[in-house]
Amino acid sequence: MYKPHTQSDRRRYVEEVELEPPIMFYLQSPSECGIPLRDALTGKYIRLMGRDDPMFRERGPSVSIRLRWPGYGNWSRQIPTKDFRSPPCPITRSKLAKNIARTVERFIKEKSRTAMDPDEDPRWKVGPGHITIDDLVLVGLQHVSKGSWQCHLRLNKSL
């Protein structure tokens, strides 16, 4: 789980902030927890429950999405919380899933060109021939600090 680097940051961004409940991604018919990232990328939302629900209503224009992956350390990127209409409206759960999928895809692309930490299990390596976007399911997001949400992913293959 993400933790701020310093005690003052922990106090300011976590302890003095009311963290929101997790955002979950459930499918129906059949019932499942999590949407495959490939489905989110390609717009296959027919089974996503609450796909049109607005997300991040009380947020600024963006939030930081954090990933902690064995062998690669902390990583984060900003995603928009509003659509591009006039006036801007909160993004939907389906658009959030797509933005997360793009973020994870970017992480995999960047990290596939770098070496893993030498003490980590090489089965967690990302990139072609290893773990790809097609192997991952977005289960949910957890609010971990004032402007940050951490991805919870499930591996859809055995290591």
Nearest 5 degrees, angle CA 139-CA 141-CA 146? 175
Residue 147 lies in a domain: yes
Q: Count Cβ atoms within 10 A of the Cβ of residue 51 and give its class: 0-12 exposed, 13-18 middle, 19 or more buried.
A: middle
Residue 2 lies in a domain: no
Write the Ramachandran bin of 100: left for phi over 0, alpha for psi from -120 to 50, otherwise beta: alpha
- In total, the chain counts a number of residues equal to 159
Mean pLDDT of all residues in 2-6: 63
Q: Count Cβ atoms within 10 A of the Cβ of residue 30 and give its class: 0-12 exposed, 13-18 middle, 19 or more buried.
A: exposed
Q: What is the pLDDT, as a whole number, of residue 127?
A: 96
Over residues 7-51, the pLDDT tens digits come to 665 665 566 678 889 999 999 999 999 999 999 999 999 999 999
The boundaries of the domain holding residue 86 are 7-155
Over residues 49-68, the pLDDT tens digits come to 999 999 998 888 899 999 99
Number of domains in the chain: 1
Q: pTM for this one?
A: 0.89
Please report, for residues 22, 113, 126, the alpha-carbon distance to residue 150 in angstroms, rounded to integers and kept in the order given. 9, 23, 18
Q: What is the pLDDT, as a whole number, of residue 30?
A: 92
DSSP H helices in 29-82: 37-41
Better-scored residue on pLDDT, 16 or 133:
133
Residue 1 lies in a domain: no
